[in-house]
Structure 1
């Protein structure tokens, strides 16, 4: 039986720099000529993708290694956790064999059985979590297209069904940040608390990682200012990571409100007494938020203490991070200009601040209801 084979150059291997060739064999000369013409045309157009045996898992590993040069360690950790949800079902498939149907099947599985960690492994993942995994997968596959490992991003048009999003909204009750009365009750209830100053810093809009990373060198008690330039966070609640602020905009100088300034002065004096009492056993860590022996607090420890105080005071349990929302909602409601609000929050764009941190409740809307009376004519009727 006669068969027809051709060898064609398909470019240079970007990793080795060597010329790459492709061999193809066909039963008929017509088929061989057609395929040869197709390959050379695509090669000349720059759209030809040479065959490879890279699996989805292998490409995700390479992609994360590339991203590590541009992203912080905590972000890469988040990416790894997010993509772990994908690997088990899709990871062993060859990258070039992956189809849109594969991704859709994974999405449907994830929405019903996708949790892979902890005691609830095998239970449904929320639509938001699945969407985050999809977003990372789309990004990784998009880079694979750029690298000419695949011809098309098969996940590009896979989305979360509208029904799944609606069901999640119905079942997931959004916890509103504290209103003004709740904030004031908390402040009044913790006046004698050792961490009073640190908790006030949270209530003036600092992220928990910024509170834990604040150093006395960054505090100017004479000018009543603090410099936000350092953070201390945790990976998986297991070990501490110290790093710069989340973004360039996050590095900022903030004025200290009078109550916070007074609390910081008192806290520093208390730490001086504690250091004197312990002598050489005291740990000199330079951080503002420290234990009685001088060792720095972790975010986990700060959160636990805050939650315990909420319980003791009979307040709704909200995330410590949501103190930012309470702060910025109050500032926005009281006329602080947008550019000041964004600068205080450490954001480049005020749209970010307003979208995620300004959350007026029904009481904040009372003024609008009163204003509406003018449209109704209620005020005029009363005068008449």
Structure 2
């Protein structure tokens, strides 16, 4: 067998040793779309030959490298050298991951990987190490924030966790494409102290108590948006409140069907079906909510008459005085104004949702009903994230213990 290692003499007279070896073929991809080209005769991807040229200073070095490559090819761990950067990997992964997802989901992927691009974008993929991934996490936890708070401060553990998960997925794609042999982010974790600090921060975000809910509702009882505030307090998501249509409300039967959502993504209003199959649900309305909706419907009729041709009949339940549909940011601002007027503690609308679900769970409503009301398919998620023990429920537990202990 001929010696695969050839002696070469460079222009300057220096002697080196070179060999050419076949490595794993790669799929042929369309130059425009990047999609893998399929052979119509076989139905299999078309493949093109790939060769690797290696040059070393001594024959021994060349022989050792040749043996290493042959061994790694035999056991399936060989990875050909590549100049792919992390920024290029991010682009490749985003293109694959967002092919068939909703715009809001695609935006969440892009947001998560923006931190990878910023911190590691120029790094060669094949030089990425666990230390680099840990450096990314430390940076995100301490100083990566640019919007949504004070610039230069740390991001939430949830945001960091989402980015870490997307990075792992991107590196798994790199493994499938034969660009790296292992996923260096696989065993990297978020520091325990950061998780502890995050739990403490979330504990400080306390939903309204029963008394605070009553105080708020008493203050807005005669407000134009009284029915809208009630919808937020019966456990609907802000996007569900904004997406609600009058045809989804049966004022005779006293029911409400959650079928669509309306939210803002990158400054564009996105209207879509409910978040999940479980999110599509029909809820029987409490009497106070039903009466408030009837009054709000009547008021909208009066506003239509007053505005004449200037009224826009959007068909939505939550509209402004000219009938125009609103967005979630508008709903939040209006809710916060009314919290300030009422003199109650400012909470997120999602915390109002928490308050509703907690009250139901702490007052004997079965867990399965609470989860279905919330529009969740995972019962444990509802209990873990949305249900918070309140003083009244803890007092009931104490009374039960008193019965046991005599």
Matched, 1:72 2:86: no
Matched, 1:228 2:258: yes
1:193 to partner: Cα distance: 1.1
Q: Distance in 2 between matches of 1:363 and 1:170?
A: 22
Please list every run of 5 or more consecutive structure 1 residues that lacks an aligned counterpart in the other structure.
Answer: 378-384
The answer to whether the 8 A contact 2:23-2:50 is kept is: yes
Secondary structure of the residue aligned to 2:383 is helix
Matched, 1:50 2:64: no
- 1:380 is matched with none
Please list every run of 5 or more consecutive structure 2 residues that lacks an aligned counterpart in the other structure.
Answer: 1-14, 31-46
- 1:288 is matched with 317
Q: 1:164 aligns with which of 194, 209, 227?
A: 194
Q: Distance in 1 between matches of 2:201 and 2:141?
A: 14
- The range that moved more, 90-99 or 337-346, is 337-346
Q: Distance in 2 between matches of 1:183 and 1:31?
A: 76
- 2:372 is matched with 343
Matched, 1:122 2:122: no
Matched, 1:188 2:210: no
- 1:7 is matched with 21
- 1:21 is matched with 51
- 1:247 is matched with 276
- 1:304 is matched with 333
Which digits, 9 at most, give the CA deviation of each residue in 1:133-163, with x for residues without a partner?
2222222222222332211111122222223
Structure with greater contact order relative to length (CA < 8 Å, sep ≥ 6): 1
- The range that moved more, 203-212 or 161-170, is 161-170
The answer to whether the 8 A contact 1:338-1:350 is kept is: yes
Which digits, 9 at most, give the CA deviation of each residue in 1:50-76, with x for residues without a partner?
322221111112212222134321222
Q: 1:321 aligns with which of 343, 347, 350?
A: 350
The answer to whether the 8 A contact 1:85-1:115 is kept is: no
Secondary structure of the residue aligned to 1:283 is coil
Which digits, 9 at most, give the CA deviation of each residue in 1:344-370, with x for residues without a partner?
111111111111111112332001111
Matched, 1:259 2:288: yes
1:321 to partner: Cα distance: 1.4
Q: Distance in 2 between matches of 1:171 and 1:245?
A: 30
Q: 1:331 aligns with which of 346, 360, 375?
A: 360
Secondary structure of the residue aligned to 2:270 is strand
Q: Distance in 2 between matches of 1:211 and 1:109?
A: 37
- 1:372 is matched with 401
Which digits, 9 at most, give the CA deviation of each residue in 1:30-69, with x for residues without a partner?
5444433443443344433232222111111221222213
Across the aligned residues of Structure 1 and Structure 2, the Cα RMSD in angstroms comes to 2.2
Q: Distance in 1 between matches of 2:287 and 2:221?
A: 15
Q: Distance in 1 between matches of 2:254 and 2:56?
A: 80
Q: Distance in 2 between matches of 1:168 and 1:23?
A: 51
- 1:382 is matched with none
Change (3 A) 1:255 1:14: farther
Q: Distance in 2 between matches of 1:48 and 1:169?
A: 43
Q: Distance in 1 between matches of 2:28 and 2:108?
A: 29
Q: Distance in 2 between matches of 1:143 and 1:2?
A: 36
- The range that moved more, 128-137 or 176-185, is 128-137
- 1:81 is matched with 111
1:326 to partner: Cα distance: 1.1
Secondary structure of the residue aligned to 2:236 is coil
The answer to whether the 8 A contact 1:13-1:19 is kept is: no
Secondary structure of the residue aligned to 1:19 is strand
Q: Provide TM-score, normalisation by structure 2.
A: 0.86
1:282 to partner: Cα distance: 0.7
Change (3 A) 1:249 1:40: farther
Which digits, 9 at most, give the CA deviation of each residue in 1:102-136, with x for residues without a partner?
12222233333222347733233344433332222
1:167 to partner: Cα distance: 4.0
- The range that moved more, 361-370 or 4-13, is 4-13
